[in-house]
Amino acid sequence: MSQEKLSEFVEATARKLGIPGVAVGVWADGQESYATHGVTSVDNPLPVDRDTLFHLGSVTKTFTATALMRLVAEGKVELDAPVRRYVPELQLADEQAAAHMTVLNLLNHTAGLGVRLVVETGDGDDALAGYVRRMVELDQIAPPGTRASYSQAGYNLVGRIIEKVTGLTYERAVAQSVLEPLGMSNTFYATDDIMTRRFAVGHNPDVDGKPTVARQWKDTRGNNPGGGIASSVSDQLRWARFHLGGGGTVLPAEVLHGMKKQTVELHGSTLGDAFGICWFLRDVDGVRTVGHGGSGNGQFSELLLVPERDFAVTVMSNAGPDGVAFNQSVVRWVLEHYLDVVDRDPEPVPHDPARAQELVGTYDIDAMTLTVRTDGTGLTLEVLIKPELRAASDKELPADYPPFDIGLLPGDADEYIVTSGAFKGQRGFFTRDESGAIVGADLAGRLFGRVQAAS
């Protein structure tokens, strides 16, 4: 596949979706290829290049997990050990959960923790310790080990384990154990490091749909382990090549590749068929892929590996909501044109009004509300940041999106797929209790508990 064709597709797709700036990197046949387009900011535009820093959001978790696995390889942490062995001060709303939760439960999102805490614990070196002290306020949605549910808070707790074991700040520990040995000189956490280099800012649509700069660049320091890293497309290919390779001085090969082995099965998720250690594992057209995505305030990232083909693609974009659609389109195009691997969405079944009515209602997590509605001919799903959080925040929060159309998928697993809008193709499922009543909705790996059925 020629560099020219990649660049043409990236530019055309970015223009079509109105994304100010994008960067794409591909590792194939032992060579790196790049395609960049657009600008870092509509207000202060600089051309995006392969060294431009983007906020990667949850792709950060792959760095946190790798740093933790280095401690495992060195015999300093045991995956099956209770978290309290390393963070004895941990207090949760559920004492049994706090006592029995293991390190592996955090790494593969089976700790039963809620998604996240919306708290500010400052920019000091005690930010992560402060975050963990506040985890007693976090919802416990299931006993540890009983189900997978994606948790930002869980990965922030992993970061605190790293701090306690190494005696370093989380950021210094990751730099020392992972970034510096790999020569990743364009990957940072601190805004003081980022602002002296070329970096992309996020954008959200204004009332007329035009991209405007998102003023909160990234989340708080207490959220760094779960989503605070910034990197360039060139450094992300270096990161991908490390995870495709033999581990070098950072990790023994068996530990590195063990991160890509299934630890818990997922169902009804666009993100994957299973979790390894951090990584989402997914079969696409008969080929196993390993990946992780990330999102921030108007910035989106995607990293996908195909180990059996020694292949990787990384994509970054700086506008919401269509950055998600851009990233997905590029990943699918690259898989098809480089590997002849086609990623197809499943087709929903015809609308069933009676079944739809059973799902209608309000569901929530700590920061967001999910509402399912029907007009008798179809279903819609709307996800909004809770208004009280917007009112209390002194920072600009990510924009809300219009409702999405959804359709139910074949079978009796209550799975659905988004059929319109920026998140088209996103999959999830509804959860029932022992009596058969709908009690939750999963979206992007997160369980929203039902708080109100249709009246």
Give residue-wise pLDDT tens across range 134-143.
Answer: 999 999 989 9
Residue type, 234: S
Q: How far apart are alpha carbons 121 and 109 in whole angstroms?
A: 23
- The sign of the dihedral angle between the CA atoms of 236, 19, 222, 95 is negative
Distance of CA 79 to the CA centre of its chain: 22
Q: What pLDDT score was predicted for residue 14?
A: 98
Distance of CA 19 to the CA centre of its chain: 20
Q: What pLDDT score was predicted for residue 421?
A: 81
- Where does the pLDDT of residue 436 fall: very low under 50, low under 70, confident under 90, or very high at 90 and above? very high
The answer to whether the beta carbons of residues 425 and 270 sit under 8 Å apart is yes
- Answer yes or no: is pLDDT of 429 > 60: yes
Backbone angles phi, psi at 444, to 5 degrees: 55, 40
- The sign of the dihedral angle between the CA atoms of 15, 17, 21, 22 is negative
The answer to whether the beta carbons of residues 77 and 83 sit under 8 Å apart is no
What percent of the chain lies above the pLDDT cut of 90? 83
Q: How far apart are alpha carbons 419 and 281 in whole angstroms?
A: 23
> pTM of this prediction?
0.91
pLDDT, tens digit (0-9, with 9 covering 90-100), for 32-85:
999 999 999 999 999 999 999 999 999 999 999 999 999 999 999 999 999 999
Q: Is 7 helix (H, G, I), strand (E, B) or coil?
A: helix
Residue of 1, 108, 19 whose CA lies nearest to 322 = 19
The answer to whether the beta carbons of residues 223 and 131 sit under 8 Å apart is yes
Residue of 313, 336, 335, 321 whose CA lies nearest to 400 = 321
Cis before 410 (ω within 30): no
> Counting every residue, how long is the chain?
455
- Where does the pLDDT of residue 452 fall: very low under 50, low under 70, confident under 90, or very high at 90 and above? confident
Q: Is 121 helix (H, G, I), strand (E, B) or coil?
A: coil
* Mean pLDDT (the chain, rounded): 94
Strand locations in 132-178, DSSP E? none
The answer to whether the beta carbons of residues 305 and 290 sit under 8 Å apart is yes
- Where does the pLDDT of residue 454 fall: very low under 50, low under 70, confident under 90, or very high at 90 and above? low
Extract the tokens encoding 243: 């995870």
pLDDT higher at 5 or 215: 5
- The secondary structure element, H or E, covering residue 64 is helix 60-73
Radius of gyration of the chain from its Cα atoms, rounded to whole angstroms: 21
Other beta carbons less than 10 A from residue 211's beta carbon: 22
Q: How far apart are alpha carbons 129 and 368 in whole angstroms?
A: 25
Q: What pLDDT score was predicted for residue 389?
A: 81
- Answer yes or no: is pLDDT of 173 > 60: yes
Extract the tokens encoding 139: 């919802």
Q: What pLDDT score was predicted for residue 455?
A: 55
Other beta carbons less than 10 A from residue 93's beta carbon: 14
Query: Can you tell me the mean pLDDT for 299-307?
Result: 98
Angle, alpha carbons 216-303-200 (nearest 5°): 30
290-329: b or e for each residue (b if 16 or more CB lie within 10 Å)?
Answer: bbbbbbbbbbbbbbbbbeebebbbbbbbbbbbbbbbbbbb
Q: How far apart are alpha carbons 387 and 384 in whole angstroms?
A: 8
Distance of CA 177 to the CA centre of its chain: 23
